[in-house]
Amino acid sequence: MIKSVVMIKIWVLFFIIVFLFSIAFWIDRKRRHHPYSPPTNVNMREDKIMMLGDNKYLNGGE
């Protein structure tokens, strides 16, 4: 029972994060008025996501 509750919490958290990222990306696109994002911006975004992933991995411990 406890395990299933934890899993639901993790999934909810994951969906909220994805939702916030999509909103932020949409606002960014709307503000620029570009049909596509410049390649440099895309690379920056990927680096940020990788940094976040690395931080989560490092903080997770062994």
Q: Hey, what are 54's tokens?
A: 């690395």
CA atoms of 47 and 9, how far apart (whole Å): 27
What is the residue range of 41's domain? 2-60
Domain count, the chain: 1
* pLDDT value for 9: 94
Q: Hey, what are 45's tokens?
A: 């975004």
Instruction: Count Cβ atoms below 10 Å from residue 28 Cβ, excluding itself.
Output: 13
Q: What is the pTM of this model?
A: 0.40
Residue-by-residue DSSP string for the chain: -HHHHHHHHHHHHHHHHHHHHHHHHHHHHHHHT-SS--HHHHHHHHHHHHHHHHHHHHHH--
What are the residue ranges in the chain where pLDDT is below 70? 1, 32-62
